[in-house]
Amino acid sequence: KAGVTQTPRYLIKTRGQQVTLSCSPISGHRSVSWYQQTPGQGLQFLFEYFSETQRNKGNFPGRFSGRQFSNSRSEMNVSTLELGDSALYLCASMGMDRGHTEAFFGQGTRLTVV
Amino acid sequence: SQQGEEDPQALSIQEGENATMNCSYKTSINNLQWYRQNSGRGLVHLILIRSNEREKHSGRLRVTLDTSKKSSSLLITASRAADTASYFCATDYGGNEKLTFGTGTRLTIIP
């Protein structure tokens, strides 16, 4: 079956702009998580959505938000971009039930803020 | 903040040798997993070990877990050039799909 698809793969934005990233999980998976990866901070958890509800949230400012649609596709939005938001943003989908914590990752969106 | 540390941060070995990397974490966990990442791409799940397990094997991979020391190790036997990647451990707390990742080990296999 198809894997996790993230779009776009690469993005360049200017400080102060906003950006929306998209993630399509594996068919049948209802949990979608987002992670930010930077050389300095490593892999940091942003948030997790399950059946259109945010179930977990990491320690990121309110400029970072997300949502999930009824087909489980998810988007994350970053407003008022800062240089420090430059990172690889990874989306992961998990199985239908709690306890299935093996995550399937997309290839990521490389965001560069200039 | 990250759950724990991995060591070494970087490891270079000859092809055919075994590679061992370690992961330490801070709080009680439900599961511990290992992932591989090639050159800033997505992560690939390698193996999961539950908190009540001590050792697990999958092909050339062997994972151990010592919950008393809050540590785990990943052994890759008979390494290949294709094993060159970064390896991350990730923990979860049960009933919570949030994964907390370690700092990663950069493994380089020299042909």
Contact B95/A98, CB-based, under 8 Å? yes
What are the structure tokens assigned to A101, written together? Answer: 């914590």
Which helix (H) or strand (E) segment holds residue A37: the answer is: strand A31-38
Phi first, then psi, for residue A84 (nearest 5°) are -70, -10
How do residues B67-105 score in pLDDT, each as one tens digit? 999 999 999 999 999 999 999 999 987 666 688 899 999
Pair A108, A7: CB distance under 8 Å: no
How do residues A28-68 score in pLDDT, each as one tens digit? 888 999 999 998 888 999 999 999 999 889 999 999 999 99
CA pair distance B108, B98, nearest whole angstrom: 29
Inform me whether the C-beta atom of residue B42 falls under 8 Å from chain A C-beta atoms: yes
Q: What b/e string do you get for B24-49 counting C-beta neighbours within 10 Å, with b at 16 or more?
A: bbeeebebbbbbbbeeebbbebbbbb
Pair B105, B7: CB distance under 8 Å: yes
How far does the CA of residue A101 sit from the closest CA of chain B (Å)? 6
Interface test with A, best of B30, B38, B97, B103 (most A CBs within 10 A): B97
Secondary structure of residue B43 in the 3-state scheme: strand
Contact B33/A50, CB-based, under 8 Å? no
